[in-house]
Chain A
Amino acid sequence: MMKTNNLLKRLFTVLAGLVLGASMLSAQNIKVTGVVTDTEKLPVMGAAVMVSGTSIGTATDLDGNFEIDVPSGAILEISSIGYETRKVKATPKMNIVLIEDAELLNESVVVGYGVQKRESLTGSISQIRSEDIAATRTANGVDALQGKIPGLQITQNSGKPGQFNSDLSIRGYGNPMIVVDGVVRSVTRQRKNTRSWSNNARQLESYNDISVLQELNPDDIESISVLKDASATIYGLGAENGVILITTKKGEAKKPSVSFTASVNLAQPNIPRNVESWTSFMKWDNAMADVAKMGHRWSDETIAGYENGDPNLVYTDWYKESYKTFAVNQQYNASLSGGTDTINYYFGVGYAEDNSILKGDTFGYKRYNMNANISVKLTKDLTMRYTSAIRQSNNLGMGSYDQEWNIFYYILASEPNVGVHTKDNPLHYSNVNEQMNPAALLDTNTSGYTKTDSKNFNNTIDLTYVAPWLPGLRLSANGAYDYSTNKQRTLVKNFQLYDYWTDTTNSTMQVRNETEYVELVNDNARLYGRFQAQYDHSFGKHNVSAMLGAELTDIKTSRLQASRRYGPSLDEFVYTHDILDQGDSTTATNEGGRTNTRTAGYIGRLNYNYDGKYIVELMARYDGNYQFMKGKRWSLFPSYSLGWRISEEKWFKSALPFVNNLKFRWSDGRTGSIQGSPYAYINGYGKSGSWVFNEGANSTGFANNSIANTVLTWATVRMMDFGVDFELWRGKLGGTFDWFRRVTSGIAATRSVNIPDFYAISIPQENLNVSENQGLELSLYHRNSIGDFSYRIQGQVSLTRSRMTYIESENTREYKSSMDYWKNCTLNRWNGYMGGSIYQWTGERFHNLNETNSSQVLYDTNGSGEGNRALVPGMYKIEDRNGNGYIDGEDVYYTWGSSMPPLQFGLTIGGSWKNLDFNLIFSGAAMKNKSVSLSGFAGTGYLYFMPSQYTDSYHVATYGDDPWDPTTEWTEGYWPALARVNQTGASHNATYTYNQPYNYINATYVRLKTVELGYRVSPKFLKKVGIKSARVFFNGGNLLTFCNKLLKYVDPEATDNGRQGGDFPINRTYTFGFNLNF
């Protein structure tokens, strides 16, 4: 036995020696340097690089680079969230490509008050990441989301700098709630009225301020989630339109890294300027005058003079005088992030501008962003995070909204045969058509301005305690204090125009009577607090998580506005500076007010899933709101949702192995929508009229015009959603389909009861009306790679419609006829469809005057006797639908309206090949008409241009022929014969009186919203200059639009309905930039 033991001992010793020796050898570690990229050659930062089976490891830096000493021959395991984990044998130089986790199911999705894995979601929630947002380079954060998120409907109305005039709606519901880092940050505010035509610079309007989304710096965003169904109800009262959740970037535990992006953007109108030459215009104008039986504005000698270049004839191209070739914008973003075991930090700064395509400094926008996010581990269990977002923006506009509204019209209306300045005095602006001069308007020293200066400070503190005594329990407290100010300085100046030829002036050339200066200061503060407990636990195949929370919000706003004037006429014009003190104190006015709102709520949520297959979520919110009377302030809003991942069933897996994921979802939840005005339960006195009892002293009147409303409360909003998520062949095809319905019952309305005038007060509103939204959403994606070329395609389409299903006033109204019912009852009718007022036509047009004169139908409603004789060739034969012998409002037919289109779609194609990467984003819409009014172009007889588009109109074959001679030959076109209208003669011309079929143009369009091309410069070369990586890119915005060719000059997306004077055109942009990482 002893021998055996010794033998064993010896053997062991030898073996041990061998093993030791081997390990001594391998202890000569090798140094591995490598880079981790994804299939699109983009660096994967923060990827874990571990020696398999050990705890030795590191993480990649911002550029995907890592360095690690490992035993030679070791197997490296590289993993990162969102990618499939790879195991590779270590070599000194490594190039590791991670393939994106095909199912994306492990992706964390930010949901209300928490984060969930995508696989366990039961609500309809879409999320996009930073890089997808930043692919569109625009100063407006809302436009950066267009076409990227199913169900998020965005229509860009104009390209006005800093105005961010885009309609934003989730599933057509209206203004969504915006939540940033866990705190609701959209708010109702007041600003200078932007819709009034009034010259009064002091009118105010309320608006829903979503600037927190519009003015975000895309580079500071980690992700954006959109809660579209009952999952939004957890935000309580006011969340009925869905919720957009923005999460900002945080630091990570690694070496400090710096990223810097700079870009220059060139913008020009998306709508081409395509007008007929001046001489061609004059002939067209004369032809239009012939049709209208008016005198010619241009003599043959004048036309000939211009054609022959007579040096005595003045020609001013107002377009060139007013437009820049390009608006040039710059954008810079820089960020620093890093961290240690206990402190992580992220700092981002950004600068963006949006300059005007118009000359001068009348319009413009500048923004500065600074974001800081610091997370400190105070103890092993307690973490504090402080987030601060500072934003300042400066916006410039005209002083008078009336002039701002009309500037594009003035550019078109101005006479080219007059100079910008008078003939003899380069300091005097000449008086052109309508006592206006675009160049003077664009000169802020002459006409005035509006300067808006907004400052926002958003601060959030989170304390999170991970309970060591109960694994899975996390307690957190969240506090936020936001402060913002908004200052507006409006100067509307009186100025004088001069006769071009004589350099003389008179009182009618004085623009406005007085110079007025207005200052408006808004001051808003929000205080928010929340306590939240979260518990997650799994036992066996059961996964449970529960959340309880309570929150309260207090918002205070105040407003102060003051104005003074500077004398009524130019003689008394003593304008000095835009300082109130220097105005005439006897003209001083001031206004002000303040508001305070409070809301509170208790939140509860319970999630359960069995083996990842059967998912149940229960939610409830007990909400309180200050608006209502005691006893009616609080209400409970419950929700539930269910999910079944059928693809996790064993039988399914074996039957259809290529299906990675197939999930059915159903959600159904309730929330409240505020109705009526606050404190309606108090019957008080309000300001009403005023009287001078003693000369020089005004007495403000007060009156009581209502009785207390003790019945009205919030409307109940029920949101339902059925959805299917699927993914096949590991990401080669995937998608989501949703059907949704939202019913809002209890919208405020006045009961239709007979109350005699003697009662003299309207009865209080009650919760009576009901509305409904319904729609479908589909999104599909495809990812693949072929050799070095990898790509992904994602498309989405959504159809949303809304209607009223109960309207008290319409339901109780008596209708005289079916036409009356059809025109005045909107009950159960989808919005935007039946609203139009087109006349139905027989499909034929009048080709010549004989046809017009012999027509049976009288196009006449006012008995003036003109009848058909007012019609011109090219106009449709309108159908007298009710057969009463003439065409009137009873003969209208329907068409699509021009509001937000119900069908919207988008397509994103992204990919990379070696060092090149690209992104194409298309977006579009359908089921919308543009109502293109002819009078805006040619009808007033005031304008001095002829759009080439309208040369495609009926006109006499030979210039100069009498259009009213029945023997005259006509050339046919799309538009009817154009006629001038004498402004003082009002609109008597049938061409402009009837909306004819040609006025409604199908505005279906597809637009190449974004093209981005990038090239990553070789790191080897850059290392020498201390740069880790660099990328240069080109980005094009709105480069291509496919739409009806008749909309060549009328943007199918924008609200401008062909007047070409309504608003700034949407821009086409060319952006060049680079990104550096240190």
Chain B
Amino acid sequence: MQKSLYLDADKCTGCLQCEMACSYEHEGVFNPVKSSIKVFNFHDEGRFVPYTCTQCDEAWCMTACPVDAITLDAKTGAKVVNASTCVGCKVCTIACPFGTINYNSSTGKVTKCDLCEGDPQCVEACPTGAITYVEADATGFERMKHWAKATDNAGAASGG
């Protein structure tokens, strides 16, 4: 069963544990700058919003890459950058509509979320459940359940 990362900004506190977990997994260092998942602080609105690659089926980064350095991990559905093939041309960073593939100046390659081979470390690190790894076909189910309860005036909504 394929899974997807599901991000719930309502639960995010801006602690950056996810960014540290990601950079540690991929670079062996605690360094938010090197993380493929980012938490944005919209200060005036009081919102912390995590964001990362959603692993598009029709992945424009993969299509755009001139050297086929981005390939599909069939097990997880992740589009993975093969660092030994990547030439650092950054065309993928232009192609991606969401900005979730980025150049890493210390390696000369691009990096993006690779779902940690099916065990995303950001999920493990998140203390509030703002990042979960759920069935790809059911990412909306938690939210549906919330609204199902809210609209069920006969039972659940009254505490049943």
A associates with B: no
